[in-house]
Amino acid sequence: MKILLTIHHNLDPNAGAPGVTWKLGQEYQRLGHEVSYYSFDNLPHKLPGMLESMIFPEFLASHVLALSQKQAVDVIDASTGDAWVWAKLRRTSNSPVLVTRSHGLEHIMHLENLEEARLGKLQLSWKYPLYHGGFRL
């Protein structure tokens, strides 16, 4: 199988979620699958961090559509929130299978952020509930 792994961070084998994504890809390869990655490293350079997060799903959707047309991917193994734009598009019967995964910490971090804000220890932007505290979750 041809597997595309996605992560909304720079792909760093020595960092939390990106490292787990990289390790998962290494295991898929060990089992004989072709593996490619799509991460912030694939985006245009020198974008502000928040902008990277916001446009990543659109860039990924474009990339997956291009791969799909060439039948160059069988499975998309996507981190939380990465593939929602592509998933919303009309797909055909020969579209790649979409698998999503979460390291499980985003919801916990959100609850901790809300508690810290309630206690006055953290000032959340008015935009926080719209994306990171809402839509993305």
Residues 28-65: pLDDT tens digits?
A: 999 999 999 999 999 988 777 778 888 899 999 999 99
Q: Within this chain, do residues 118 and 95 fall inside the same structural domain, yes or no?
A: no
Q: Within this chain, do residues 45 and 71 fall inside the same structural domain, yes or no?
A: yes
Domain count, the chain: 2
Q: Within this chain, do residues 56 and 109 fall inside the same structural domain, yes or no?
A: no
Closest by Cα among 75, 82, 37 to 59: 82
Tell me the C-alpha distance between 37 and 116, whole Å. Answer: 35
φ/ψ bin of 71: left (φ > 0), alpha (ψ from -120 to 50), beta (otherwise): left
Q: Within this chain, do residues 108 and 135 fall inside the same structural domain, yes or no?
A: yes
Q: Residue 129: which residues within 8 A CB-CB, separation 6 or more?
A: none
Q: Within this chain, do residues 93 and 108 fall inside the same structural domain, yes or no?
A: no
Rounded percentage of the chain residues whose pLDDT exceeds 70 = 92
pTM of the model: 0.79
